[in-house]
C-alpha cells in the first residue's frame, strides 16, 4: 500500500507535469495565432493576384511534408488529421469557401466533404447531383464534392453524364472507407423490430443482418440521413449509417463495422473551376467520342500505350440523344502539362470526334485497408 508521503509526491509530480502541458499549450496557441496572421496576409496577396483561396497542390505539399516529418508517438495519420484542421482554420481567415454536396446533412457525401475541406468551410446540401454541379457552375458554391464509384458497387449512376453537360473541372479526389453501424434510440438489440436504410447499406450488411437480426423487417428510404431520422422517431426502429450520422442526430451505436466486406471504399471527386499544377503524382480524366469504324478505340489506346501513359480506368456511357452511340471516360496517370500526356491528347484529338479534358489533379491516397478511412490528396489551402 502506498504511503501518504509517496501519494503526496505522486500528486505533486502530476501537478508539475500538467503545468508543463499548460505552458506547451500556451506556446502552441501563440504559434497558431502567428500562423493565422501569415495565412491572412497570404489571402490578401491572393486577392490582389486574382488567385482562388483553394489550391489543392499547395495543400497536398503541406500535408505530405508534415506527414513525412512524423516520428515518435505522432504517426503520419495523426499529423495529417491535425494539420487538416489547422489548414482549414487558415483558409477561414482568407475568405469564405462554400462547398456543395448531395444532401441531406450527415450523409457519407457530407462526411467526405468535411474530411476534405475541414469544419471551417460552409457546406451546402443539394437534392440532386445535377444541383451540386449547377450550384458550382452558377457561383453559389466554390467547390462540389460528388461520389463517382464504389469498390463494391461500381460507378454511381448518372454522374459521368453530368461532366458532358457541365463545364466544371475535376480539382482533386478522395477515397473514403465506408464503415457502417447500426444505430437506434433503444440500446437493446433485441428490441429492434424494423431497420430503415438506403438500399446500398442494406445490401452491404446483408450477411450480418441475416445472422444477428433474422426476424426484423426492412424499409428502404432515399438516404442514410432520412433513415436515421425515421429510426429516431420509432422506439423499435434502427438505421444503418456512419458513426458521424449517429453522433449528428444523437442516436446510440448498437454495433459498429457491420459491413460484410471491410474493403468498401468510395471515390469522391472535387469539382470546380480551378486547374491544379502538376505535383508529380497526378491523374488526368478525359471524355471522348469515337465514330463508328473498326479499331477506333484500339487506335486511341495504342496512342497511350506508345507514350507509356497508364490507363487507370475506362468506362463507356450511352450518348444523350444518339441511340447506340457511346461516350468514353478515361482516367490516366499524369498531368496534361506532362510531355507524354500533351502529345497523347493532341493525337487523340485527331482520332476522336470529340475530346474533352475534364481535369488534371493530384492523385488521392487510398490509405491503409481495411482500417484506414482514406486520405485526401489535399485539404484546404492556407
The verdict on 15 and 81 lying in the same domain is yes
* Domain CATH for 328: 3.30.70.260
In a domain, 160, yes or no: no
| DSSP element (H, E) containing 305 | helix 296-306
User: What residues contact residue 114 under an 8 Å CB cut-off, 6+ apart?
Assistant: 121, 123
- Does residue 214 carry a pLDDT above 70? yes
Strands 143-150 and 98-102 come out as: parallel
Asked if 164 and 287 count as a contact pair (C-beta separation under 8 A), the reply is yes
> CA dist 29 to 22, 25, 74, 381, Å?
10, 6, 19, 20
In a domain, 374, yes or no: no
Average pLDDT, stretch 267-292? Answer: 93
The verdict on 194 and 239 lying in the same domain is yes
Nearest to 239 by CA among 127, 222, 226: 226
Cell of 76: 503520419
Domain that holds residue 248: 181-255
The verdict on 193 and 232 lying in the same domain is yes
The rounded distance, in Å, linking the Cα atoms of 317 and 327 is: 5
Omega before residue 29 within 30° of 0, cis: no
In a domain, 133, yes or no: no
Q: Please tell me which residue, 306 or 73, carries the higher pLDDT value.
A: 306
Asked if 218 and 230 count as a contact pair (C-beta separation under 8 A), the reply is no
The verdict on 225 and 287 lying in the same domain is no
Per-residue model confidence (pLDDT) at position 375: 45
- Does residue 379 carry a pLDDT above 50? no
Which of 32-46, 190-204, 318-332, 345-359 has the lowest average pLDDT? 318-332
Quickly state the pLDDT bin for 371 (edges 50, 70, 90).
very low
The 3-state DSSP class for residue 152 equals coil
The verdict on 245 and 186 lying in the same domain is yes
In a domain, 196, yes or no: yes
In a domain, 208, yes or no: yes
In a domain, 296, yes or no: yes
> To the nearest whole number, what is the mean pLDDT of the chain?
89
* Domain CATH for 26: 1.20.59.10
Backbone angles phi, psi at 101, to 5 degrees: -150, 165
Q: How many CA atoms within 13 Å lie on the side-chain side of 216?
A: 23
The verdict on 234 and 298 lying in the same domain is no
* Domain CATH for 188: 3.40.190.10
The 3-state DSSP class for residue 12 equals helix
**Top mean-pLDDT range of 3-12, 52-61, 161-170:** 161-170
The rounded distance, in Å, linking the Cα atoms of 171 and 169 is: 6
307-361 pLDDT per residue, tens: 999 999 999 998 877 777 889 999 999 999 999 999 999 999 999 999 999 999 9
In a domain, 9, yes or no: yes
Which of 18-32, 93-107, 237-251, 326-340 has the lowest average pLDDT? 93-107
Count of domains forming the chain: 3
Asked if 255 and 182 count as a contact pair (C-beta separation under 8 A), the reply is yes
Report CA torsion sign: 244, 247, 249, 253: positive
pTM of the model: 0.82
Decide which of 59, 77, 94 is a domain's last residue.
94
**Top mean-pLDDT range of 54-58, 233-237, 361-365:** 233-237
Asked if 145 and 266 count as a contact pair (C-beta separation under 8 A), the reply is no
The verdict on 251 and 302 lying in the same domain is no
The verdict on 17 and 90 lying in the same domain is yes
Nearest to 360 by CA among 326, 325, 335, 331: 335
The verdict on 8 and 87 lying in the same domain is yes
The 3-state DSSP class for residue 375 equals strand
Average pLDDT, stretch 44-50? Answer: 89
Per-residue model confidence (pLDDT) at position 367: 57
Decide which of 31, 66, 94 is a domain's last residue.
94
The verdict on 223 and 300 lying in the same domain is no
The verdict on 307 and 352 lying in the same domain is yes
Asked if 209 and 217 count as a contact pair (C-beta separation under 8 A), the reply is no
Strand partners, 144: 100, 271
The verdict on 336 and 298 lying in the same domain is yes
Helix, strand, coil % in the chain, rounded to nearest 5 = 40, 25, 35
In a domain, 146, yes or no: no
Amino acid at each position: 500500500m502506498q504511503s501518504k508521503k509517496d501519494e503526496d509526491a505522486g500528486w505533486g509530480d502530476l501537478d508539475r507535469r500538467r503545468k508543463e502541458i499548460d505552458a506547451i499549450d500556451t506556446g502552441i496557441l501563440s504559434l497558431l495565432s502567428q500562423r493565422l496572421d501569415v495565412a491572412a496576409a497570404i489571402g490578401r496577396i491572393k486577392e490582389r493576384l486574382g488567385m482562388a483561396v483553394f489550391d489543392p497542390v499547395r495543400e497536398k505539399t503541406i500535408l505530405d511534408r508534415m506527414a513525412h516529418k512524423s516520428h515518435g508517438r505522432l504517426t503520419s495519420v495523426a499529423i495529417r488529421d491535425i494539420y487538416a484542421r489547422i489548414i482549414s482554420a487558415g483558409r477561414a481567415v482568407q475568405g469564405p469557401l462554400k462547398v456543395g454536396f448531395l444532401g441531406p446533412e450527415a450523409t457519407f457525401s457530407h462526411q467526405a466533404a468535411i474530411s476534405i475541406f475541414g469544419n471551417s468551410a460552409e457546406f451546402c446540401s443539394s437534392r440532386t447531383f445535377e444541383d451540386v454541379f449547377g450550384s458550382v457552375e452558377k457561383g453559389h458554391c466554390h467547390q462540389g464534392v460528388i461520389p463517382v464509384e464504389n469498390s463494391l458497387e461500381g460507378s454511381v449512376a448518372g454522374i459521368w453524364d453530368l461532366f458532358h453537360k457541365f463545364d466544371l473541372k475535376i480539382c482533386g479526389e478522395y477515397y473514403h472507407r465506408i464503415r457502417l453501424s447500426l444505430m437506434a434510440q433503444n440500446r437493446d438489440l433485441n428490441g429492434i423490430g424494423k431497420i430503415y436504410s438506403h438500399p446500398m447499406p442494406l445490401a452491404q450488411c446483408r450477411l450480418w443482418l441475416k445472422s444477428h437480426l433474422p426476424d426484423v423487417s426492412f424499409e428502404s428510404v432515399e438516404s442514410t440521413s432520412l433513415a436515421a431520422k425515421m429510426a429516431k422517431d420509432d422506439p423499435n426502429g434502427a438505421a444503418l449509417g456512419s458513426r458521424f450520422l449517429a453522433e449528428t442526430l444523437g442516436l446510440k451505436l448498437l454495433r459498429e463495422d457491420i459491413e460484410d466486406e471491410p474493403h468498401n471504399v468510395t471515390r469522391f471527386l472535387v469539382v470546380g473551376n480551378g486547374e491544379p499544377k502538376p505535383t508529380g503524382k497526378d491523374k488526368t480524366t478525359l471524355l471522348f467520342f469515337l465514330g463508328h469504324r473498326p479499331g477506333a478505340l484500339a487506335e486511341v489506346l495504342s496512342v497511350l500505350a506508345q507514350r507509356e501513359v497508364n490507363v487507370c480506368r475506362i468506362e463507356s456511357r450511352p450518348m444523350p440523344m444518339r441511340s447506340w452511340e457511346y461516350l468514353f471516360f478515361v482516367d490516366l496517370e499524369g498531368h496534361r502539362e506532362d510531355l507524354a500526356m500533351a502529345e497523347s491528347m493532341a493525337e487523340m484529338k485527331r482520332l476522336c470526334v470529340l475530346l474533352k479534358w475534364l481535369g488534371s489533379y493530384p492523385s488521392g491516397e487510398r490509405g491503409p485497408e481495411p482500417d484506414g478511412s482514406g486520405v485526401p490528396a489535399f485539404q484546404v489551402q492556407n
